[in-house]
Structure 1
């Protein structure tokens, strides 16, 4: 019988997969009915439901994203619920198109059951990502249109 991965181990796999751009593997870390909420996403959907939807989203990111992410300052906090961790970290974000490098802070609250992510609330610094890509005018226009 194999041992189930802990929430800490699953988060570390997720973080490593993102930093190493192994996007095609990431959906396998999620349960079939997983829910991911990107709470501070400035425009577009903020809730994604199901492994297949997440696989599509990761495929989009793999195909379109001009950024490279290197994680640092990772802190993982256990909670009184053994399924839940709170992770804090920074990404060094390098945008290949603009050549800019910025730092983006992140917090993720993960619920992991039977070695798979069942729920995630993600708090990412989307403004830093917009700065890296020189996309602030586009972001402002999109926000004004809502």
Structure 2
């Protein structure tokens, strides 16, 4: 019988997969009925439900990701709920096309049950990612179109 991975170990696997560009493998870290809320996502989906939706989203991201992400300053905090951690970290973001580099702050509240992610609330510095790619005007147009 194998030991179930802790929330800390699951988060580290997720972060490693993202920074190593292994997006095709990430969905397997999530439960079939997982929910991911990306609270400050400016134009994309703010809520994804189910492993299949997450797998599709990871494939979309992998197909167009214009930058390399390196994680640093990672702090994982345990909570009074053994299923929940709060992770804080920065991404060193290097945009391949523009050559620009920026730091982007992140916080994730993650619930892991039986070794799989069942829920996350993600708080990422999306504006930093827009700026590093020189895409501010596209963001403004997309936000204007949502009105």
Q: State how far apart, in whole Å, the 2-side matches of 1:20 and 1:11 are.
A: 14
The equivalent of 1:121 in structure 2 is: 121
The equivalent of 1:58 in structure 2 is: 58
The equivalent of 2:132 in structure 1 is: 132
Q: Once superposed, which parts of structure 1, at least 4 consecutive aligned residues long, lie more than 4 Å away?
A: none
The equivalent of 2:16 in structure 1 is: 16
Tell me the secondary structure at the aligned position of residue 112 of structure 1: strand
> Could you list the per-position Cα deviations for residues 41-85 of structure 1 after superposition, in whole angstroms to 9, with x for gaps in the alignment?
011210000001100111111111111100000000000000000
TM-score by structure 2 length? Answer: 0.98
Q: State how far apart, in whole Å, the 1-side matches of 2:120 and 2:38 are.
A: 8
Structure 1: where are the runs of 5+ without partners? none
Q: State how far apart, in whole Å, the 2-side matches of 1:12 and 1:46 are.
A: 23
Shift of 1:145: 1.9
The equivalent of 1:38 in structure 2 is: 38
Shift of 1:142: 1.2
> Could you list the per-position Cα deviations for residues 107-135 of structure 1 after superposition, in whole angstroms to 9, with x for gaps in the alignment?
00000000000000000000000011100
The equivalent of 2:71 in structure 1 is: 71
Structure 2: where are the runs of 5+ without partners? none
> Could you list the per-position Cα deviations for residues 76-102 of structure 1 after superposition, in whole angstroms to 9, with x for gaps in the alignment?
000000000000000000110111110
Residues 1:101 and 2:101 aligned together: yes
Aligned residues: 146
Q: State how far apart, in whole Å, the 1-side matches of 2:74 and 2:106 are.
A: 10
Q: State how far apart, in whole Å, the 1-side matches of 2:65 and 2:51 are.
A: 20
Q: State how far apart, in whole Å, the 2-side matches of 1:67 and 1:10 are.
A: 24
The equivalent of 1:143 in structure 2 is: 143
Shift of 1:140: 1.1
